[in-house]
Amino acid sequence: MKRIATFGLTFVLAGLIAAPAHAQYMQTQRAGITLGGTYSQLTDDWTASSDFEWGFIGGGFFEWQYHPNLSGQLEINYAQRGGSGTRTGVPADTFDIKLAYLAFPVTLNAMIPVSQTIDLRGTVGFSFALSLSCKAGIDGGDRESCGSTFPGLEKESIEWAFPLGAGIGFKFGKNKVELDARYHLGLSNVLKTAIVKNRSWEFMVRLGQAF
């Protein structure tokens, strides 16, 4: 994880350093939709082992490109996270947890052009998410609400996270297609009274149009 963070921050800093002064640059606003998948697991003291599981992510975004090499971005995404594995303690039962969030990532993007229509992108920021649902099952049983499956372990209502990613963008006139791979590092617990956090990859396609 340290290597991923170092690489991402280095890329963003490279974009900042390489950014020339463009006093006459015409700012661009872009809005569009996001579709993709999450590949997530649950970690920390509550889990003895945890496997990655696939989920869905989708929503919309607004990007304000105020410089040829820099932009700020606000997203609203529905995102599925969670994972399966074995709990610590006795009994060491297996679990399967599905979490759903309405997430609001705010990011800084650094862009390094490789041609007039293609650029490389680095992303860093933070994310605030509202927990929509938490379903859990034990030892292969049916999933019910987390508080019912694990008495006393209700879902936390809010999650804070650190998104860090890289991607590539393709311009087609006013339209733009972006392929983005992002690591989502959960900073807060997903369950009350238990130290357990989300760790997930996000693979997204963004379709945007300037206006």
DSSP lists the bridge partners of residue 166 as: 122, 181
What 3-state DSSP class applies to 5?
helix
Identity of the amino acid at 174:
K
First to last CA, the chain: 37
What is the per-residue pLDDT across 97-109, written as a single tens digit (0 to 9) for each? 999 999 999 999 9
Distance CA 61, CA 31 (A): 6
Average pLDDT, whole number, for the chain?
A: 89
What 3-state DSSP class applies to 133?
strand
From the CB of residue 124, how many other CB atoms can be counted at a distance below 10 Å?
19
What is the per-residue pLDDT across 108-150, written as a single tens digit (0 to 9) for each? 999 999 999 999 999 999 999 999 999 999 998 899 999 999 8
Contact 43, 82 (CB under 8 A): no
From the CB of residue 116, how many other CB atoms can be counted at a distance below 10 Å?
7
> Tokens 């105020």 appear where?
66
CA-CA-CA-CA torsion sign (99, 105, 110, 113): positive
Reported residue count of the chain is: 211
What is the per-residue pLDDT across 12-71, written as a single tens digit (0 to 9) for each? 455 444 445 444 567 899 999 999 999 999 999 999 999 999 999 999 999 999 998 999
DSSP lists the bridge partners of residue 35 as: 58, 205
**DSSP class per residue in 48-68:** EEEE-EEEEEEEEEEEEEEET
Q: Which of 20, 9, 206 is nearest to 113 (CA)?
A: 20
